[in-house]
């Protein structure tokens, strides 16, 4: 089974994510709490923002949520603890994950979190995976392709067409050169005869 991949969420971003949950919950927004509810919301494409706790044990419980978020291009972040996440969701108990369905007045906060994360974390991870895959492909190509022995560079050989063309033109040029002096002599003789008359 694949290892559980967490994305590092800076503390300032985690704090803003908690603030977004509280504001959404208290300003007429709508949230869903717990792994099952968050999973359904993400699968249906209804989640606007997902926050998961880092201290979930066993971590495999949460393994699918970042993958689903990446597929659906839903931004997500991590809270340090389940207790912290539970408080932000308005619970007296801890929770492993929460998602915002309707932002309420938290839209600007969520937007700020997204900007600080750059791309949704899932997109960053996908980009890294693609880069690694490309690097592996290049390595395999390099290993598979046998190295050709290095040859000394030779001057470029003329194509056959050019060589044949020059051969064909050579007699014509020679003929012109041979007839050119004779033609000059004939013209000179004609001029001399005209002058005598």
Listed in sequence order, the DSSP H helices in 145-159 are none
Q: How far apart are CA 30 and CA 38, in angstroms?
A: 12
pLDDT tens-digit series, residues 103-156: 888 888 888 888 887 654 445 555 555 666 677 777 777 777 665 555 555 555
pLDDT tens-digit series, residues 167-192: 666 666 555 555 555 556 666 677 66
User: Quick check: 76 and 65 in contact, CB under 8 A?
Assistant: yes
pLDDT tens-digit series, residues 32-76: 999 999 999 999 999 999 999 988 888 899 999 999 998 999 999
Q: How far apart are CA 48 and CA 22, in angstroms?
A: 14
- Residue 135, helix vs strand vs coil: helix
- Residue 96, helix vs strand vs coil: coil
DSSP strands (E only) in the chain: 30-33, 49-53, 76-79, 97-102
Q: DSSP letter string over 20-44?
A: HHHHHHHTT-EEEESHHHHHHHHHT
């Amino acid at each position: 089974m694949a290892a559980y991949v967490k994305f590092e969420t800076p503390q300032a971003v985690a704090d803003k994510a908690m603030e977004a949950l509280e504001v959404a919950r208290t300003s007429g927004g709508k949230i869903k709490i717990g792994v099952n509810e968050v999973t359904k919301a993400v699968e249906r494409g209804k989640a606007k923002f997902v926050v998961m706790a880092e201290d979930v044990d066993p971590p495999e419980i949460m393994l699918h949520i970042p993958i689903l978020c990446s597929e659906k291009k839903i931004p997500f972040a991590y809270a340090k603890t389940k207790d912290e996440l539970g408080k932000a969701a308005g619970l007296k108990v801890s929770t492993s994950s929460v998602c915002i369905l309707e932002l309420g007045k938290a839209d600007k906060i969520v937007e700020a979190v997204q900007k600080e994360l750059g791309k949704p974390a899932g997109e960053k991870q996908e980009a890294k995976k693609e880069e690694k895959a490309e690097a592996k492909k290049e390595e395999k190509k390099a290993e598979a392709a046998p190295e050709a022995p290095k040859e000394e560079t030779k001057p470029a050989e003329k194509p056959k067409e050019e060589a044949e063309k020059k051969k064909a033109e050579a007699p014509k040029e020679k003929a012109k050169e041979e007839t050119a002096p004779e033609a000059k002599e004939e013209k000179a003789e004609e001029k001399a005869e005209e002058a005598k008359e």
